[in-house]
Structure 1
């Protein structure tokens, strides 16, 4: 009898612990136990009865399939299509390239200024510094704005299980490239002092500083580019609803995370920090304790994390 119970428990491991599943499990267990007892009355041995009960219960696979369809969560309409995910990942890859080049360009601007100053072309160095810096900052701002733009059409839309699996497969496929870019990027950043030490042997250490910034630019580019691409897949893996901005999730994403407390959490977000700021200024003006009243923000941050954890749906 215990063998039959263990068989049923194993059979239903893949299903959620709902009332419908429990009811179906008890019905099947009752039928199998009745059949088992009937076989014992016919003179079958315990092992023969158990084996016959399990072997004759072939229709249980059909029941499992039927139960899976009835208990499976119905997917919301307007889910994200695979083509939309591929387009988003492709565009995000272009943005990652732009951001990486922009940040590396800022480092190259400093290296160019120092390098031309060492050779005596200070004026040309300053001019070229501002040109490269302005172009790099412009690239950073432009690509930063594109992050929200490319995800606007996907915002708060459902991420299906099949899309989740495909994104996870693509992430695993990119993992090796990410590891290579991360390792090489970190190594190049660590070795950035090598040119300075090399030129110092010839008492020209200042000539190595521009090369140091070149090394840093390449290393930072590899780290940022690889990291942004690697985390892009998480948008379709970690949540059931697509979130463009983690600080501003949509209604569906809010409900998925906070359940019935989503509305209360939304109201809390709007009034909490303005209220904390008012308390800070009020207390500071009344007590003149500006030297330590800023601790209110530290305590408020800790308290907010605790409150947020309470709201998260279990």
Structure 2
């Protein structure tokens, strides 16, 4: 079982220490030890059972996401900022196109759509600033 504990400790090396990490690590070790015991009851040797459990366990990427590590939350924040920027560009573009259509369809002699366009342009500009700030902060 020392090999199993060493393997789990190695997987959790890059994760910052904390109560949640310790709790998850203990739970994983307990579950894996139970699996090893079950396989040994089925007739496998201890070494074969430990090897099988380690191979079946795989990696801990999903567990890292569940622990909400800072690097994952920062990446998620960047992705959300980029998504918000794209949404604001498309949304403001469609609103401005609607204003242009309304302007030229109903009052073609007076160009008034330019005034609300300046107000609408602040939306993607603020989203661009948010995205750029997150990008610079991460570097």
TM (norm. structure 1) is 0.23
Mark the structure with the bigger radius of gyration.
1
TM (norm. structure 2) is 0.50
